[in-house]
Amino acid sequence: MSERNRPTVRLLAAVVVAGSVAVLATGCSFVQQQTGDAWSVTYEVSVDQPSGAALNDVRVEGAEKRGDAPEVHRLGAQETSTATTSGSAWEHEAIVLAEQRASVRATPPRGATATCRILLDGKREIATETAAAGQPVTCSVDTPAFD
């Protein structure tokens, strides 16, 4: 091989190695989404207003079903539908891998106070937050590892 071709061969080798690493990383991520430990996560936002209260700019993070890539889902405007003792609530289910971020964000109507919660398997609370009246509320936490 001539001295003139060596830089081209080195560059080509570097590109092949970088491409292989990218493919392997993507493949590992896909396998993790398919077979990794995952939680059923319930996102809940409650407001101190009756059912039908409008939540704006609602966002949740996770996968819609097993094997989907996690992402932030912008759900826009949502209405509360579940009556509670102090108002009403909205819920959404998602799948989140163990030790990955789960988050929910919503803005209540003007003057309303909102509280968010993140529950594992619909029962175990792992995050809760209450915002000032009319302000967006955000809950964000990494899910625990499986026991």
Q: What is the pLDDT of residue 66?
A: 81
Q: In what order do the strands lie in the sheet with 82-84?
A: 82-84, 87-97, 38-47, 114-120, 124-130
Asked if residue 134 lies in contact with residue 110, where contact means CB atoms within 8 angstroms, the answer is yes
Give 116-142 pLDDT, tens digit per residue: 999 999 999 999 999 999 999 999 999
**Per-residue pLDDT for 79 more than 80?**
yes
Q: What is the pLDDT of residue 111?
A: 95
Residue with tokens 């909205």: 90
**Per-residue pLDDT for 12 more than 70?**
no
Give 45-67 pLDDT, tens digit per residue: 999 999 899 999 999 999 988 88
Residue with tokens 């509670």: 84
Q: What is the pLDDT of residue 93?
A: 96
Distance, CA of 106 to CA of 114 (rounded, Å)? 8
Asked if residue 67 lies in contact with residue 31, where contact means CB atoms within 8 angstroms, the answer is no
pTM over 0.85: no
Q: H helices then E strands: how many in the chain?
A: 1, 9
- pLDDT tier, 146 (very low <50, low <70, confident <90, very high otherwise): confident
**Dihedral, CA of residue 61, residue 88, residue 49 and residue 96, to nearest 10:** -10
Angle (CA) 116 121 123, round 5°: 60
Q: In this structure, which amino acid lies at residue 24?
A: L
Q: What is the pLDDT of residue 23?
A: 47
- For the chain, the structural domain boundaries read 1-35, 38-142
